[in-house]
Copies of this chain bind each other. A is one copy, B any other.
Amino acid sequence: MSPSNRSRLRAHPASLPPSTSSDGTRRRILETALQLFASRGYHDTSIRDLAKVLELQPSALYAHFASKEHVLAELVRIGHEAHHEALQAALKDAEPEPRQQVRALVRAHTRTHATHPQLAVVVNEELYALTPELAAPAIALRDKSTELLAEVIERGMAQKCFAPPHPRVTAAAISAMGVRLPYWYDQGSTLDVDTLAEAHAELALRMLCGDLAR
């Protein structure tokens, strides 16, 4: 571990999404790894660091995961699945009208990143540390999530309710609002998650609709 005491994230207890099925020691390993990988990075966190926080011997971890990389892979899988399922559920519950669908997608995207910032950071910054084989399922899910937004934008443009300056650039800008959240947003501040999600939804619609009446 490096001598730096700086952390990548404002420290919070690391939380896995409710859908996470692991329990017992396996779950403790995932939660602790999430905390350490988010704050120090995967390559700067050793098996010994993990074991020390868990009050286990390093060798005990290998009864639960085949390797350090497999711990990261599981976190990456959990994060991508929770995110994608949140987007799908939001779309399903929203009215079919494009503006309502964008609102629903952006709110879900923002809520995911605001309520699980450590998982968001690990998923986004450490994916490249996985071998292509272990990263592939996550990349596939990511592409599907990207496509959900792209399709809604296209439909809105066809219906003349969206007129973004550049569809792909605008989609990236909408996604970026959420992805950057963990680096500045402080849970428990005066700005609550609902207000934040609503502000992002409004910003997304301003980007897409521009001068068009809303």
A: which residues have CB within 8 A of B?
2-8, 40-41, 43-44, 125, 127-132, 135, 164-166, 168-170, 172-173, 175-177, 179-181, 184-185, 191, 195-196, 198-200, 202-203, 206-207, 210-211, 214
Contact = CB atoms under 8 A, between A and B. Distances in A.
B179 A4 contact: no
Nearest to A126: B41
Nearest to A178: B176
A180 B175 contact: yes
The secondary-structure label for the interface of chain A is: helix
Contact of A170 (B40, B44, B125, B203): B203
Q: Chain B CB within 10 Å — which of A127, A129, A179, A198 has the most? A: A129
A168 to B, nearest CB: 8
Contacts of A128: 4, 6-8, 40-41
B211 A203 contact: no
Given A169-B203, A170-B199, A3 B131 contact: yes
Can you list the 3 inter-chain pairs with the closest CB atoms, starting with the nearest?
A43-B43, A176-B180, A176-B176
